[in-house]
Amino acid sequence: MTLEQLIDFLRSDPDFSNNIISWKEIPAREAVFGEFPPQLKEVLKEALRQKGIKKLYSHQVEAFNAIEAGKNVVLVTPTASGKTLAYNLPVLNNVLENRESRAIYLFPTKALSQDQFKELHDLITLSEADIKTYTFDGDTPVTARKAIRRAGHIVITNPDMLHQGILPHHTIWVKLFENLKYVVIDEIHHYRGVFGSHLGNLIRRLKRVARFYGSDPQFICCSATIANPAELAEKIVEEPIQLIDENGAPSGKKHFILYNPPVINKELGIRRSVITEISRLASHLLSAKVQFIVFARSRVRVEILTKYIKETAKKMHISTEKVSGYRGGYLPLERRSIENGLKKGDILAVVSTNALELGIDIGQLDVSILAGYPGTIASAWQQAGRAGRRTNTSLTILVASSSPLNQYIMENPHYFFDKSPESGIVDPNNLLILMSHMKCAAFEIPFADNEVFGIQASSEVLEYLVENNVLRHTDGKYYWMSEIFPAEEVSLRSASPDNVVIIDKTHGDRVIGEIDLFGAPMLVHQEAIYMHESRQYHVDELDWNRKKAYVRAVSVDYYTDAITKTNIKVLTVDEEKALSQMLLQYGEVNVSTVTTGYKKIKLFSHENVGAGKVYLPEIEMSTSSVWLELKPAFLEQLQIPSAQLGGALQAVANALRNIAPLFIMCDPGDIRSVPMTRAPFSQHPTIYLYDNYPGGVGLSMKIMSYPYPIFQGALDQITSCACEQGCPSCVGPVLEVGEQGKRLAIELLREINQTLQQK
């Protein structure tokens, strides 16, 4: 069965077509070409001809000309539109003109670095040019590092390696920094929130070191389609940027389906599960022999779906080796093997987290399935772009879950298809992140008096570090004086630099994966079932002090889901808005989270079949938050009984937490909500919404500035939901919010919205 035949089958199959909310057909697009620029070296033109490229796409020509003119650029075109060639050509052309010229390529992951190295090396080989290009990351042999530092024209690396392996040791990278002409930042849309805020400071340090050696690099950025690519790039590199976004690449016909599983319990608003629906879809795709990818929202869901699809393949007498999982925590060789299997066609189906969302070359897939809305429109289109990467027809199916965010998209498909993708939000001046990088910068080169690093108040931060015996001020300069190597203490991707290593003790000690410190209490607590490549492991011990989890292989019919408890303490109030009988405030809070227990969930049926307790220390985090305090008179007016107040607040908090990401344009995991019937800070009922990152990254401030759309969106979602008393698609299940939770949440939000509108 061809893909076109499969699409016709799905269109005519009532079990599938009756649940289609929207079927968007995006027509094929013809290429817009431009001639090779006259200043492009003949050896590069000949190399392109050998690759079958006789003309460039229009955006590649525009990018080449802008870069040749000395401008910083951000190139924004869809997946597989030839962005890589757009920056490789001007960089190689410059090195051929000036043998001393150097460039740094930054990719967000090691896998993407390795992938892009192959493409660049292929072009250099065809041109027969003497241009040395190397990948420099944690896997680079020590013996090769000296040659890279001395002779590398193009150094391909990632932000983590630049942070810990290059900038702190700039004195042995003199050749690179004296001649640094270009810095390429690929997938810049990926640098949102905390990661992007770290990158902004990393670029400040890079430019500072480059200035020390007398160079002033030009920045070339590439991005998927987001609403503010130029603004995001300018915030990260702090230089004027020219936007290039007229795409000249061709594309095949694309089918994009929004699919809402049928309701199986109207009273509770429960739909057939995403996992069940995708398992059913997988049987059609496997029988049609079309290659497909499933994107899942979490590591656990990746493993469960991989197991289910393997079971489906087994029933169809298809080798389970043709189905694979892919996520962070797999070892590098494992991931490379899966990527090669996809390219060669040995693997028919892969279930992945967003780890494969980025531009790693995994060949030409036919179908992309999204197991739930991925959190941002930009991510959804990136994941859709992994299918039909050239000019063939492709199919993408977004299978909605029962969550309010997913159901809002299903109720408002125009929001998804018509709205410009989200903005990237970064805050390089977040004080915790900034201070961390100022320590690293002081280690690299002493700060001079009155030197500005990001903010005008840099001297105050430096004086604070002097008072705490981190820096020493002598002869107009601030010198690093601690014995600690600062870059090792700063993780760019998470609040904690530590990982927990997972050790399989089934047949001797064998490392099978790793997990960040904040995720460990939820996924590898004692008695947890940890899943890896669909195999199950029982966690015998989590050694918190040594950061090791010891597991053994088991075969059980359930998985575990952690239960966590959160407490909030207000540290400062930085801003407030007095509303009628309410108070909206913003400030710094301390959030303490602890995993207290777990549930056992039966595979396939998803029944709760048991529970257990977990004894682990609390993890504390200072962050920014916005909170709404309700005065007693407000509640008296609504006549909400005190016995039902907790459920009503929980219902509103659930709705706000799930809808807010659409309006502040962030990942659902970036924002959290906690309701309190009697908050310790004010002794009044309060709902907190806080940034799920140390120090905050500006998300709760955005809610503080524009609260009404979020509260109105929450109300719209609850009132449009068909359930009677509350369900996972609006305020949460009845057992969590109470029988009156939905009704009271509607009353509360109507009154809150009226007050906000008046302001």
SS (H, E, C) 552-609: EEECCCEEEEEEEEEEEEEEEEEEEEEECCEEEEEEEEEEEEEEEEEEEEECCCCCEE
In the sheet that holds 529-532, the strands lie side by side as: 510-516, 499-504, 548-554, 535-543, 529-532
Phi, psi of 619 (to 5 degrees): -110, 125
CA dihedral for 147, 150, 155, 160, sign (positive or negative): positive
Within a domain: 426:
no
Distance, in Å, from the CA atom of 759 to the CA atom of 755, rounded to the nearest integer, reads 7
57-71, 402-416, 745-759: which has the minimum mean pLDDT? 402-416
Within a domain: 494:
no
Both 214 and 263 in one domain: the answer is no
Both 238 and 255 in one domain: the answer is no
| Stretch 203-231: mean pLDDT | 93
Q: Which of 275, 311, 313, 321 is nearest to 294 (CA)?
A: 275
Distance, in Å, from the CA atom of 408 to the CA atom of 393, rounded to the nearest integer, reads 28
Both 237 and 285 in one domain: the answer is no
201 or 356, greater pLDDT: 201
Final residue in a domain of this structure, among 527, 556, 585: 556
The answer on pLDDT for 497 being more than 70 is no
| Stretch 330-341: mean pLDDT | 82
Using DSSP bridges, classify how beta strands 510-516 and 477-480 pair: parallel, antiparallel or unpaired: unpaired
Distance, in Å, from the CA atom of 324 to the CA atom of 340, rounded to the nearest integer, reads 12
Q: Indicate the helix (H) or strand (E) that contains 465.
A: helix 458-467
**542-564 residues labelled b (16+ CB within 10 A) or e (exposed):** bebeeebbbbeeeeeebbbbbbe
Within a domain: 448:
yes
Domain count along the chain: 5
The answer on pLDDT for 628 being more than 60 is yes
Both 442 and 525 in one domain: the answer is no
| Stretch 179-191: mean pLDDT | 93
Both 109 and 8 in one domain: the answer is no
Final residue in a domain of this structure, among 511, 527, 556: 556
Q: Indicate the helix (H) or strand (E) that contains 707.
A: none
User: Whole-prediction pTM value?
Assistant: 0.75
Q: What are the E-state strand segments in 252-331?
A: 254-259, 263-265, 270-271, 292-295, 323-326
Within a domain: 423:
no
- pLDDT one-digit tens code per residue, 698-742: 788 889 988 988 999 899 989 988 777 887 677 877 777 888 999
Hey, which residues does 291 pair with through a beta bridge? Answer: none
Phi, psi of 671 (to 5 degrees): -130, 140
Q: How confident is the model at residue 495 (pLDDT cuts 50, 70, 90)?
A: very low
Both 483 and 527 in one domain: the answer is no
| Stretch 547-552: mean pLDDT | 93
Both 346 and 204 in one domain: the answer is no
Distance, in Å, from the CA atom of 88 to the CA atom of 240, rounded to the nearest integer, reads 21
Residue-range definition of the domain harbouring residue 690:
561-758
Final residue in a domain of this structure, among 517, 535, 556: 556
CA dihedral for 59, 65, 67, 71, sign (positive or negative): negative
Within a domain: 49:
yes
Please count the CA atoms within 13 angstroms of the CA of 539 that sit on its side-chain side.
26
Both 113 and 200 in one domain: the answer is yes
pLDDT recorded at residue 47: 95
Long-range contacts of 750-758 (CB under 8 A, 24+ apart): 750/715, 751/634, 751/637, 751/638, 752/582, 752/628, 752/711, 753/708, 753/711, 753/712, 753/715, 755/579, 755/580, 755/581, 755/582, 756/579, 756/707, 756/708, 756/711, 757/708, 758/580
> Is the CB of residue 155 less than 8 Å from the CB of residue 176?
yes
The answer on pLDDT for 270 being more than 80 is no
- Percentage of the chain exceeding pLDDT 90: 53
pLDDT recorded at residue 203: 98
Computed on alpha carbons and rounded to an integer, the radius of gyration of the chain in Å comes to 27
With a CB cutoff of 8 Å and minimum separation 6, the contacts of 722 are: 263, 266, 269
Q: How confident is the model at residue 621 (pLDDT cuts 50, 70, 90)?
A: confident
| Stretch 91-120: mean pLDDT | 89
Using DSSP bridges, classify how beta strands 323-326 and 349-352 pair: parallel, antiparallel or unpaired: parallel
Phi, psi of 3 (to 5 degrees): -65, -40
Distance, in Å, from the CA atom of 365 to the CA atom of 79, rounded to the nearest integer, reads 13
Both 68 and 88 in one domain: the answer is yes
- pLDDT one-digit tens code per residue, 232-268: 999 999 999 999 999 999 988 999 999 999 988 776 6
pLDDT recorded at residue 227: 79
Q: Which of 657, 607, 739, 664 is nearest to 403 (CA)?
A: 657
Both 170 and 290 in one domain: the answer is no
Distance, in Å, from the CA atom of 727 to the CA atom of 743, rounded to the nearest integer, reads 12
Within a domain: 568:
yes
> Is the CB of residue 3 less than 8 Å from the CB of residue 224?
no
The answer on pLDDT for 516 being more than 90 is no
CATH code, 114:
3.40.50.300
> Is the CB of residue 350 less than 8 Å from the CB of residue 324?
yes
Tokens of 349: 């189906």
303-312, 420-429, 511-520: which has the minimum mean pLDDT? 420-429
Both 568 and 677 in one domain: the answer is yes
pLDDT recorded at residue 493: 65
Using DSSP bridges, classify how beta strands 529-532 and 510-516 pair: parallel, antiparallel or unpaired: unpaired
- pLDDT one-digit tens code per residue, 276-328: 899 999 999 999 999 999 999 887 888 889 999 999 999 999 999 999 998 87
Within a domain: 424:
no
> Is the CB of residue 252 less than 8 Å from the CB of residue 27?
no
Within a domain: 160:
yes
Both 390 and 287 in one domain: the answer is yes
Tokens of 511: 């490392």
- pLDDT one-digit tens code per residue, 660-694: 887 776 667 788 999 999 999 989 999 999 988 77
Q: Which of 241, 225, 163 is nearest to 189 (CA)?
A: 225
Q: Which of 272, 271, 206, 282 is nearest to 237 (CA)?
A: 206
Mean per-residue pLDDT over the chain, rounded? 88
3-state SS assignment for residue 526: coil
37-46, 128-137, 526-535: which has the minimum mean pLDDT? 526-535
Tokens of 201: 């400071």
3-state SS assignment for residue 740: coil
pLDDT recorded at residue 712: 92
Q: How many other C-beta atoms can be found within 10 angstroms of the C-beta atom of residue 195?
A: 18
Q: Which of 183, 227, 164, 127 is nearest to 492 (CA)?
A: 164
